[in-house]
Every structure is written in structure tokens, then in C-alpha cells.
Amino acid sequence: MTTTERPATDRMPVLYLSHGAPPLADDAVWTEQLAAWSRDIPRPTSILVVSAHWESAPLAVGATETVPLTYDFWGFPERYYQVTYEAPGAPELAKDVAGLLTRPGQPVHQDPNRGLDHGAYVPLVEMYPDADIPVLQVSMPTLDPRGLFEVGRQLAPLRDDGVLIIGSGFTTHNLSLADFGDTTGAGPAWGQEFDAWAKEAVESGDIDAILDFEHRAPAARIAHPRTEHWAPLYVSLGATADESQDATSTVDGFWYGLSKRSFQLS
């Protein structure tokens, strides 16, 4: 079966990926890992991204037509600010998201001027370089694990329509301990411990441990001084919660001393 063929009865998988900073594009290993990953899954009808870099309550949907990217980073060479990714907007997907998530007293906000941030476009440039698949980004309205897990559960029906749901974070994210320039694939002891625990917890389907990772995981506070880069995983897990879990680690290794572990779910 080619990536363009998808039986109507098949649900799209859900991804959690470590998206990297803009220099991701300079890492030949990582870019090929992402490109190969996209070739191995069915071609989506549209893509829904929950990025670590957009926290907004109430939950918001970004631009539904093509607008300039959000370059939400500072101090990088100018060439990283020249990257473009003019994917089509996804207005129908935005309506579907609003229909699934709107509750009394819990509206879905519209942010029509917010372009894709680097948690969305950096990996998509490598995975779908033709920018010919509609993309919609939604915010994280909270960092509460159960709250985000429920958001994912509510979004799950979109998978039946060919929507690829991507939680975009980073399996470890402590910039104060990052070793910038180290692309050897090695990681610090604390990072290796957390990375191994994350792989085991996700692949075994230990949802309770993942949601309570700050108390269950080794070096949790070192790996994530703040939890926003782990939190998109809660959405991804929620979107596969009502079926038998089949989680596979698709990308591993370290980059700048941070774990780029990524997963495909169901």
C-alpha cells in the first residue's frame, strides 16, 4: 500500500514528535528520520498540530488561511527567519475542531492572524516539504495533564476523516543544560535515564505514569523544569485513548544533549 492509499475504515495514527529548534534543518540524520517517517504513514487529508509553543486559554485555533509564519525564537542567524511554509489553511477542520471542543462556557477562540510557529512548521518542512496539505494549529489551553488528555480524546474522531494529529514538543527540554553544537547523538546521564523511562512508559501504555511523570520519572524536574514540551504528549495519548494502544518509538538519539525521542501511536 502506498502512502496515498488509505482505506476508509482505517484511522490515521497520532504522532508525538520532538520538534527541535530551527537548526533542525541542518541535521541530516534528523531530517531524514522525519522524512522517512512521513513516507511510512498514510497521506493525511489535513494536519492538526498542538505545539509546545502556543499556550492560550480558552483553546484557540490559528489562521485558517495562509498567513506568515510565527518566528517565535531569538538570536539565530538571519537565514532561519527566511524559511517559509505556505501550506493551505484548513477552515473546515477549524469548524470540526470547534464542533468537537465547544462546551457551554468553554468557547473555542479564533486567532486568524497567528501563523504556524516553529513547533509546527520546522518538522513539517521536513515531513511534507511540498506544503500541499492543509494545516491547522490549536493552542494548549492548560498544562494540566488530565485536561489536555481530554482535549485529545475529544479530537479523536478527526482521525476517521484522515486528519493527522501531531503533538509537537521535546522528550527532554532543559535549555540551561543543553550542549549547543553537540550533534554526536550522545546525551547526559539524566537525559538517558528520562529517555529510557519515557520509551518504556509510552510503549507499554502506562498512561497514569505518563500523566504523573513529575512524580514517576527519573530526573523529571531536570528533564522538564517546565512541562510545556512534554504536555503535547497528553493530547496525543488522549486521541488514542479509546482503542488498543500500539505505540512505537520512531526517532531516538540526542541533539544538543536533548532527547529527540518521538512516537507513533495506534
Say how many C-beta atoms besides its own lie within 10 A of residue 86's C-beta.
Answer: 12
Q: From first to last of its 266 residues, what are the pLDDT tens digits of the chain? A: 333 444 434 799 999 999 977 887 888 888 999 999 999 999 999 999 999 999 999 999 999 999 999 998 878 889 999 999 999 999 999 999 999 999 888 889 999 999 999 999 999 999 999 999 999 999 999 999 999 999 999 999 999 999 999 999 999 999 888 888 777 778 999 999 999 999 999 999 999 999 999 999 999 999 999 999 999 999 999 999 988 678 999 999 998 899 999 999 98
All cell numbers assigned to 260: 529527540
Find residue 166's DSSP bridge partners.
Answer: 15, 49
Q: Report CA 224 to chain centroid distance, whole Å.
A: 16
Which amino acid belongs to residue 30? W
**Torsions phi, psi for 15 (to 5 deg):** -115, 150
Q: Is 212 helix (H, G, I), strand (E, B) or coil?
A: coil
Give residue-wise pLDDT tens across range 195-241.
999 999 999 999 999 999 999 999 999 999 999 999 999 999 999 99
This model's pTM is above 0.75: yes
Say what the pLDDT of residue 5 is: 42
User: What pLDDT, on a 0 to 100 scale, did the predictor assign at position 4?
Assistant: 41
Task: Give the pLDDT score at 243.
Answer: 82
- 260 touches 252 (CB < 8 A): yes
Domains, the chain, with CATH or none:
14-265 (3.40.830.10)
